[in-house]
Amino acid sequence: MASNTMIDSEVRRSPAQHLAQEMEAASIAGRVGLREIAFATQISLRCAPGSPAHAAVAAATGVGLPAAVGQVAGEAPGIAVLWLAPDEFLATSAENAELAGALTAALGEQPGQVVDLSANRSVLELSGPDAPLVLRKSCPADLHPRAFGVNQAISTSLANIPVLLWRTGEQSWRIMPRASFTEHAVRWLLDAMAEFAAPAVP
């Protein structure tokens, strides 16, 4: 009998897997690119700031917990924790089967919450010098570097759907919509990227 691991690798599909070729074809070297980061681990954390639970969970992440809106503890592509609310955080990393267990053990019986939400949101990466121009077509957030620095993240909207938007580098952004909105987000981004494939007008 095949192992569960083998079965999972054969049957599971990420939210944007069927769009991978379209994203690759629409990406323009040196200008803008779009891809999915499939099967990213995403753990919802709830704990009151200043409490023993907060301290224990912060230590277990290895990078701490952010203290204010827009802050991110840690960095992509390692473990990072995004601030969602004063007592709510999202820990994320590349696929990591151990993270939820470690955080659950750290919380123990203390008041709080550790919930694996890895299937809740997809993770899209938009990169390149023209990435902000693509985002500005339908994202109301102020994306200027003075207002939105590297390794900051906020809840906002894109193409009229709620997303988490995380600036992971000078020219890279992670866009995290609900899984059910993934195709809508990808197709909007593909359409918004199309102008950059056109030759410049003399």
> Tell me: the pLDDT tens digits for 109-135?
999 999 999 999 999 999 999 999 999
Helix/strand/coil for 178: strand
Q: pLDDT for 52-73, tens place per residue?
A: 999 999 999 999 999 999 999 9
- Residues in the chain, total: 202
More confident residue, 116 or 200: 116
- Residue whose C-alpha is closest to residue 114's, from 101, 98, 124, 97: 101
Contact 188, 23 (CB under 8 A): no
If you ran DSSP here, which 8-state letter would residue 200 be given? P
Neighbours of 44 (CB within 10 A): 17
Mean pLDDT of the chain: 93
pLDDT band at 8 (very low <50, low <70, confident <90, very high): low
| Helix (H/G/I), strand (E/B), else coil: 160 | coil
What pLDDT does residue 5 have?
46
- The pLDDT confidence band at residue 199, using thresholds 50, 70 and 90, is low
CA dihedral of residues 77, 149, 172, 44 (deg, nearest 10): 40
| pLDDT given for residue 122 in this prediction | 98
> 34 with 186: CB under 8 angstroms?
yes
Domains of the chain: 15-39+120-197 (3.30.1360.120), 41-117 (3.30.70.1520)
